[in-house]
Structure 1
Amino acid sequence: MTDRFPNGSIVTYPYLWRWQENEGREHSEKDRPVCLAITMADARQNITHLVILPISGTPPFQGQAALEIPPLEIRRAGLSMLKRGWITVGEYNYDIAERSYFFEPNQIPRGQFGPSFLEEIRQALRPILIARQGRVDRTK
């Protein structure tokens, strides 16, 4: 699975925002482009862990941790429909590719972020992962 969807892949996914989960919702309103920031194979269980970050053409709201996507990365990612884009790094969806009700394993990635920008994303995401904050678990 990780060969087909390497780290930094841009795919479509029904991302559930944290505020939606807090309202008790289990389903998102729409599919959106997302970045598979981390795809980690677990050979013992034969599963692939996914850390999924949402991408938007709307600027982040006050207090929302997001990075603006550089124009070159917008093109690499296959997001040319966006004049400007942001990737949210203050929250994420966690899913397991092989067991997911939401992740479509037969889709073809739109594109992929380059290694330098992906590293910038990971550095911004690291404190959220370490503090175990912002996780919306889609495996339930």
Structure 2
Amino acid sequence: MAADFPQPGQVIDYHYLWKWQDQRGETEGRKRRPSCVVVVAVDRKGLHHLFIAPITTKEPNSDRQAVPVPETEARRAKLDPDLRLWVIVDEVNYDILEQSYTLEDRTPRGSFSPVFVEHLARLIRTIHAERSLRIANRN
């Protein structure tokens, strides 16, 4: 495990569980995909609550909310800068680091800049406030 994990903006390879899979009773993501740790909250017991957003190469449908990943951010995160990438911001996985069975490799591949991550977090908070954030609980 990386000594600085978890930090907002870190991009990890994660078995992301889509909400539609969660609703069908699936408990495991079908494949490891780059995902961004967007929010880290530490509770009174010292547990790290993570909100993790998926990164995809598939252009999102018009009914989804996503942010294109600029080439500079892709390079920072050690993603392929030649691919078109999006961070999905209307859906996240919720996981608790100390109780997680899905966070196997806790070494980030890279990180997005603080400005880009704050933009993602602000959008996710807004979507959550509108009660339209899809959350798959991984605990």
Match of 1:60 in 2: 60
For residues 123 and 2 of structure 1, what CA distance do their matches in structure 2 show?
Answer: 26
Equivalence map 1:72-91=2 (5 Å): 72-80=72-80, 83-91=83-91
Q: CA deviation at 1:138?
A: 0.5
Match of 2:15 in 1: 14
Unaligned runs of 5+ in 2: none
For residues 3 and 121 of structure 2, what CA distance do their matches in structure 1 show?
Answer: 17
Q: Alpha carbons of 1:17 and 1:46: their partners in 2 closer, same or farther (altered >3 Å)?
A: same
Match of 2:30 in 1: 29
TM-score norm. by structure 2 comes to: 0.90
Q: CA deviation at 1:4?
A: 2.4
Q: Deviations over 1:57-103 (max 9, x none)?
A: 11112301111000000000110265110000001000000100101
Q: CA deviation at 1:27?
A: 1.4
Match of 2:99 in 1: 99
Q: CA deviation at 1:25?
A: 1.4
Whether contact under 8 Å (1:7, 1:39) holds in the other structure is yes
Aligned residues: 137
Report the secondary structure of 1:10's partner residue.
strand
Unaligned runs of 5+ in 1: none
For residues 51 and 127 of structure 2, what CA distance do their matches in structure 1 show?
Answer: 12
Q: CA deviation at 1:5?
A: 2.2
Report the secondary structure of 1:32's partner residue.
strand
Q: Deviations over 1:13-54 (max 9, x none)?
A: 111001111222111111111000011222x21210000000
CA RMSD after TM alignment: 1.8
Report the secondary structure of 2:136's partner residue.
strand
TM-score norm. by structure 1 comes to: 0.89
For residues 30 and 12 of structure 1, what CA distance do their matches in structure 2 show?
Answer: 9
For residues 2 and 68 of structure 1, what CA distance do their matches in structure 2 show?
Answer: 29
Report the secondary structure of 2:93's partner residue.
strand
